Amino acid sequence: MVIHLNGHITDAGELELDLPSGLPAGEARITIEIPSQAEWTAADLDRALQTTPMTGAEIVKAGLVGGWEDEGIDDSALWVEEQRQARRERRNR
């Protein structure tokens, strides 16, 4: 499904847009098209692509750990081995 939306990038670098109601939850791919009248300087691009690393404490505080917990995976190495074994069994049928 493709939905085209108009948005606005603020001076603070935030993207503002109104999503239509009823969209399903899940991943989305965002493509930003800059109108031709907008001219970006090298400094603008550098600023737009700049990242600020987080400390370990900030990562934990933001809840960005335990990504496998929601999938019911307690041991990631064991899970990978189980996936490999399942793939081998499917190939050998």
Report field, pTM of the whole predicted structure over 0.85: no
How far are the Cα atoms of 9, 17, 30, 36, 46 from residue 4, in angstroms, in the given order?
A: 16, 11, 10, 18, 27
Return d(Cα 88, Cα 86) in angstroms, integer: 5
Nearest 5°: the CA angle 6, 7, 11 is 155
Contact 18, 3 (CB under 8 A): no
Q: Which segments of the chain does DSSP mark as H helices, in order?
A: 42-48, 56-61, 76-91
Give the model's pLDDT for residue 34.
Answer: 73
Locus of tokens 């899940």:
26
Residues 37-85: tens digit of each pLDDT: 667 788 888 888 888 899 999 988 988 877 776 777 888 889 899 999 9
